[in-house]
Structure 1
Amino acid sequence: MENKKMTAPVVSVGADTEQSPNVCNDSITDSAENFKDLEKSLREMQREMLRQMDPSYLKTVSLSALYDTDFEPTEALIDGLLYRGAYLFIGSPKVGKSFMMAQLAYHISTGTPLWNYKVKKTPVLYFALEDNYQRLQRRLFQMFGADGTDDLYFATECKTVNGGLDEQIKGFMCEHPDTGLIIIDTLKRVRETGGADYSYSSDYDIVARLKALADSYKVAMLIVHHTRKEKAEDIFDMISGTNGLLGAADGAFALKKEKRTSNNATLDIVGRDQPDMKIKLVRDTKRLGWNFEEAETELWEEPPDPLLEKISEFVSSGGNCWNGTASELCEKLGSDMKPNVLSLKLSINSGRLLRDNGIHYKASRTHGGRKISLWKDTDSVTMCDDRDKLSENDDEVENIVTTVTV
């Protein structure tokens, strides 16, 4: 067999293959700085882990760190009415609470506007614990006809809060991670029976545990509960139980008829993320749903923000995408606002910027400082860069990019 010598091809170095030494040096320098940032962040994480192991550890956040943190914007399932969190829905027995729950569940699972309020379409899990499937079938058909949906799920039995309900919800959320609303009808059905202590502490604890579930999965949870017979000037003082129930919730809805035989009702709303409201409703005697009549308190709308409007115009006119620092953005906008104030205002109003103008906001920290990304979703743009794809670890390591250029 003839032996053949293997030789490496000779590549001539010409103008088209030359690489500036400065480019290589700059890339190596940037890479070294990024590695130093990574090493520093890891050391800080290690120190923080050791601190947390100390029995006397108390987790605190400074105001500066709070201002420097970008939080996910609060999202409404029904604009101005229902946000993510845990809410009580109260009313006297047989006032029409379950019909209201079916109405809310159907509208959110189909994305159909409710009383002209915009609705975000998401899957819904409805624990109809005082009903059976036959009654649900008859009720839903009478209310909405034959138009079904695959995004509305019913359960007529479940475990209690202390007996495994959290695991059942966890299992459902693993199968349906986009779920936005969970309805528990009623609170009594998921609460332990037999010698339970219905004190303020017990009432607070049961709702707090349900709220923790809602917060962990970033859903809205409506907890149906009854009112007591004793009258009160404030409808929310008629909640059956102690003030601990409302104290642990993010808000509450109260449905009250003018008379037991009347088709007119009032829906009172209080909450942490929306102003107090009072809506007058009329029962549809044919379809059994609730129709909007008027709002005694109009839906509050934020006044126009000149800064957000200017940012919208700037991003739209610049290819629907922009990256840079807060100082650079101030210069582009011709604003005399301080860069840290602009950055904080963008962080606080990121939800509104997306809702009203369709512009996404993302901030990241690199060795060069805090960077801002603004972009609109279009056919050619889904995000300005790859920052969203970078790892985040408990807010200690943010968006560390390591690049080596050869």
Structure 2
Amino acid sequence: MYNEKEKTARKTSVGADGGQPIQTNHNEIIPEPDTESKCFEDSIVQTERDSNPANLSTVTMRELYETVYQSRPPVIDGLLYSGTYLLAGAPKVGKSFFVAQLAYHVSTGKKLWEYEAHQGTVLYLALEDDYQRLQERMFRMFGVEGTDKLHFAVCAKRLDDGLDGQLEKFVLEHSDTNLIIVDTLQKIRELGGEAYSYAEDYQIVGKLKEFADKKGLCLLIVHHTRKAQSNDKFEMISGTTGLLGCADGAFILHKEKRTDSAAILDVVGRDQPDQRIHLVRDEERLLWGFDHADRELWKEPPDPLLAKVGGFITSGCSTWRGTATELVSALGADIKPNALAMRLNVRAGRLLNDYHIKYENTRSHAGRIITLTLV
């Protein structure tokens, strides 16, 4: 399902997207295969490469740019993306209330503080609670306004005893699932001794990450911090560094004093900028409110080429199909056809997320054909 060729592009990291300006002057034109024999030769080479287990599977930089990867839109813009994340904090610091808040906002699509949430089905494994406690908590936080897209479970199998099968079945039944919360890690990890090695910690997060990556969703794991203090708050995550080393990102929720209503949420990750968010708890509703952040959320500047495509594909002309040369002409863009195709290959995810236009670049007997569809 993922890393497949000729589908919409994977959501790339903020830093990666920001470092790819439009190329308006290319000295080298990449040849486009346009004959049946070339397609046949390529398929034979690919088959021989994949069929021999001794071969190391590689792609060239050119092949990388010529491929369109599966899109993974963010779960919450600038805060939470597809992949596996840890949320760690001291016991009773308010982690469960925080993830309940995340779950509600994603399942309803309502904005969380200054962050846009993308609606989808959410599964919340509240494995340290019961349904009566969840009922009271959710009513106190959100009142009687419910949603059918937020599902709770208070018991689940361990990771070595069928949890992956349970999650697989849920996602098959709810294809729009974009967030699964596991509260807590200790409730699902394999039975064993109290002391875990780096390899064991890396492996357990790796199993969860494999599932999240395969399904293109976010899996958020609630965990604890150790009592020992550290200048780097992320070194306080209980266990070895294997947990954070394998995860795509982490959140640390901590207070100066346990009795404080204010808390700090430190955020690191592969797909979002490092952040420190200052929160204040509403003691009546038990909601975490946004006070301020130590740095403004970086927003990627507009891409003129994508804006041209967005203006070209409208409700009046919702589908277009043709070659890269024809698209350059239709857009009136000052860019070579192959450069335009590669640019759109890389930026297809943003084209879908920002302009709701699905981009496909497929090979036919006549050459490569671009299809743009308003979805």
- For this structure pair, what is the TM-score category when the shorter chain's length is used for normalisation? 0.7 to 0.9
C-alpha distance 51-352 of structure 1, shift in aligned 2 (>3 A): closer
Unaligned runs of 5+ in 2: 1-33
Cα contact 2:88–2:224 (8 A) shared by 1? yes
User: 1:163 and 2:161 equivalent?
Assistant: yes
1:1-400 alignment, distance < 5 Å: 37=36, 41=40, 48-49=46-47, 51-195=49-193, 198-316=196-314, 319-377=317-375
Letter in 2 for 1:70: V
Q: Which residue of 1 aligns with 2:29?
A: none
Q: CA deviation at 1:313?
A: 2.5
CA distance in 2, matches of 1:322, 1:172: 36
Give 3-state SS (helix, strand or coil) of 2:115's partner. coil
The CA deviation string for residues 217-242 of structure 1, in whole angstroms up to 9 with x for no partner, is 11111011111111111211111111
CA distance in 2, matches of 1:160, 1:188: 9
Give 3-state SS (helix, strand or coil) of 2:361's partner. strand
Give 3-state SS (helix, strand or coil) of 1:307's partner. helix
- TM-score scaled by structure 2? 0.85
Q: CA deviation at 1:264?
A: 0.5
Aligned length: 342
CA distance in 1, matches of 2:366, 2:203: 46
Structure 1 window deviating more from structure 2 (257-266 vs 172-181): it is 172-181
Letter in 2 for 1:96: G
Structure 1 window deviating more from structure 2 (334-343 vs 263-272): it is 334-343
C-alpha distance 328-296 of structure 1, shift in aligned 2 (>3 A): same
With a CA cutoff of 8 Å and minimum separation of 6, indicate the structure with the bigger relative contact order.
2
Structure 1 window deviating more from structure 2 (353-362 vs 219-228): it is 353-362
CA distance in 1, matches of 2:123, 2:337: 44
Q: CA deviation at 1:63?
A: 2.0
Give 3-state SS (helix, strand or coil) of 2:159's partner. coil
- TM-score scaled by structure 1? 0.79
Give 3-state SS (helix, strand or coil) of 1:181's partner. strand
State, as a whole percentage, how many aligned pairs show the same letter. 53
C-alpha distance 318-369 of structure 1, shift in aligned 2 (>3 A): farther
Q: CA deviation at 1:249?
A: 0.7
CA distance in 1, matches of 2:223, 2:268: 16
Give 3-state SS (helix, strand or coil) of 1:106's partner. helix
C-alpha distance 225-318 of structure 1, shift in aligned 2 (>3 A): same
Give 3-state SS (helix, strand or coil) of 1:282's partner. strand
Cα contact 2:87–2:250 (8 A) shared by 1? yes
Q: CA deviation at 1:154?
A: 1.2
Structure 1 window deviating more from structure 2 (76-85 vs 190-199): it is 190-199
Letter in 1 for 2:81: Y
Q: Which residue of 2 aligns with 1:18?
A: none
The CA deviation string for residues 52-100 of structure 1, in whole angstroms up to 9 with x for no partner, is 4434232222222211110122311111111111001111111000001
The CA deviation string for residues 93-147 of structure 1, in whole angstroms up to 9 with x for no partner, is 1100000111111111111211132211111111111111111111111111111
